[in-house]
Structure 1
């Protein structure tokens, strides 16, 4: 059998083309694009200049070391100690990747065997489904349901079987903005220890928590040796195009992930790695100010969406807001989003593409608020025609 059609069937219907489709609609109609999650302004000027300096000094213009440049691995280790009190050896317990997406792919390919089961929060970040499928494993959803989007821990326990190998945890959670509580994390950790499960945690929005606090799963009792923690520079420093991510874990787990990663991109982003090393050492005032600015933008767009008639589910983290279109008498978010650029001049993403069972999120729409204030205000103004 030809492998390509088989792979296409395994990845079919995962919603990975929706961003391109909606961005094309935005370009064709001149609509404001609140669909795909990238800022409309670059991050700190001194970090951009650090990348330019690295280029001019010849740092990273040739192949960087496979695990990442030592300066960045050391900065990642210092970051984990500084913010969370976690100690990782930069030489054996830190791996630099081409963004968090490659880290997720490498972790799934390294840690899963065909037939293994992976429990992950639904709605999913779309690459999860693809990466689990490429590893030949089975995706088992634990659905977060509106309006609270909290995990049902009894349901989680019930979904663990002898085939369960790994828990894929995303907190803060994209697209719902849920941030796990300390009690929820402790319960999840206890189940992982009880059933001897590996845990891969996607923590790319770690510095964008507006209520509560971010707590790495690796910091919990019994979790240090079984957890692969993933993060990246794109969301925290607003340089999403640089694609610099990382893994921190015990040496055996990092070695396993690196074994898979070396056959994906091998290495990438050499000069950017030096710049991200400097970014991770920015003062607390940067991280506090960045979080406060995004919290304000969340409230700005959230208020505008409510005024336009949407039911808004307030996110605790990330830079996405999930809404419901039921107040407009509509139920099909995909159809709603396809016509929204023509009707209002705004682009959003139907949340149904993040679910295995699309009917669960059929009426939900996701908006990104990592944009300039005037863009958010104009989008909210345009959306008010829905109730006029």
Structure 2
């Protein structure tokens, strides 16, 4: 019966991130720098809010787009933090994580053959969602522009079939951030075109040099932009599965239909905890960010002292050093490092073909683990 399965599903591959993570369990005393998950616990006051929701039996369905008070809290949060203005009643949907937010967005705007431009290297979760919708991923090679999508890279890729451009900054896997003039260049190119922008801003609270700027805040861009965000990275709430779409009402009214038949609503308990996160916990990311900066600087300095070439990331919690000088593919380098020194990183080709020749290192781990991993990595490259 397997031949009856949707070929769009059978063609999808398991994420390269997960492949390596699954291998780690076979090695005792392995140090893993693979998963993009904060190592901080969810703040205590958010846990208490979740517990109160359970104790008060707030365990029923919520309105499909989410609790009104949560959508209002999200509206106030993004306005205060990023100058974005979205109505809590008709322009915000609470989703089961940012991944589901992306899914309902793409299902709403894509038709068969629609093209979506992706800056490569890029998080591997986007391409399968595009393909499941019958869309066509089109990659922009950002390796020569410091892993930043520019208007100059983007313009020749635009066709009559282009339905959307996906921005994901701060970037997974590179940690790069688009400066305001770079965002403006893209906005100037797209403002008069019938092309949507999907702006995945899940790492918006983890920008280390300057402040987060959304393309949706630029003139003429709000009505064609869908902003994706959530609490997984900012509040260390990965398992709570709370994300958001922020989009103009004409889009949101259709996206909520897809959401309704997809998951009905996000977890009620998680939604009540999310209200606490966005109100009393509006600055919960600050102490985590301070620690990430220390970790970034430590790992960056260690890598450069070993001779690795890499751009210093301005956000998220990843570094993406080149390994080309070692003459190994990214997968060969990753497997040898794991086998000989028991350090797990992610091969760059997990992030599209444009990530070949690089590895991704997550520094969302304790300093002790980072120190141990850097010692082992230095020993490894010393033998190559």
Secondary structure of the corresponding residue to residue 141 of structure 1: strand
Shift of 1:10: 4.4
Q: Which residue of 1 aligns with 2:379?
A: 385
Query: How many residues are matched?
Result: 380
Inter-partner Cα distance in structure 2 for 1:37 and 1:317: 13
User: What is the 5 A alignment of 1:20-39?
Assistant: 20-30=18-28, 31-39=30-38
Q: Which residue of 2 aligns with 1:157?
A: 155
- Find the partner of 1:336 among 326, 333, 339: 333
Secondary structure of the corresponding residue to residue 166 of structure 1: strand
Q: Please, what TM-score do these two structures have when normalized by structure 1?
A: 0.93
Q: Which residue of 2 aligns with 1:83?
A: 81
Secondary structure of the corresponding residue to residue 25 of structure 2: helix
- Find the partner of 2:346 among 346, 349, 358: 349
- Find the partner of 2:370 among 359, 376, 381: 376
Q: Which residue of 1 aligns with 2:267?
A: 269
Q: Please, what TM-score do these two structures have when normalized by structure 2?
A: 0.94
Contact 1:304–1:381 at 8 Å: present in 2 too? Answer: no
Inter-partner Cα distance in structure 1 for 2:342 and 2:11: 35
1:136 to 2:134 alignment: yes
Contact 1:110–1:256 at 8 Å: present in 2 too? Answer: yes
Contact 2:40–2:288 at 8 Å: present in 1 too? Answer: no
Shift of 1:283: 5.8
The Cα RMSD (Å) is 1.9
- Find the partner of 1:126 among 124, 131, 134: 124
Secondary structure of the corresponding residue to residue 234 of structure 1: coil
Inter-partner Cα distance in structure 2 for 1:32 and 1:151: 33
Inter-partner Cα distance in structure 2 for 1:285 and 1:113: 40
- Find the partner of 1:238 among 236, 239, 247: 236
Shift of 1:146: 5.2
Structure 1 unmatched runs, 5+: none
Task: List per-residue Cα deviations over 1:329-383 (Å, max 9, x = no partner).
Answer: 233011111222221121110111211xx2x432100010111111111111221
Inter-partner Cα distance in structure 2 for 1:260 and 1:301: 42
Between 36-45 and 342-351, the greater mean CA deviation after superposition = 36-45
1:7 to 2:4 alignment: no
- Find the partner of 1:191 among 189, 192, 198: 189
Structure 2 unmatched runs, 5+: none
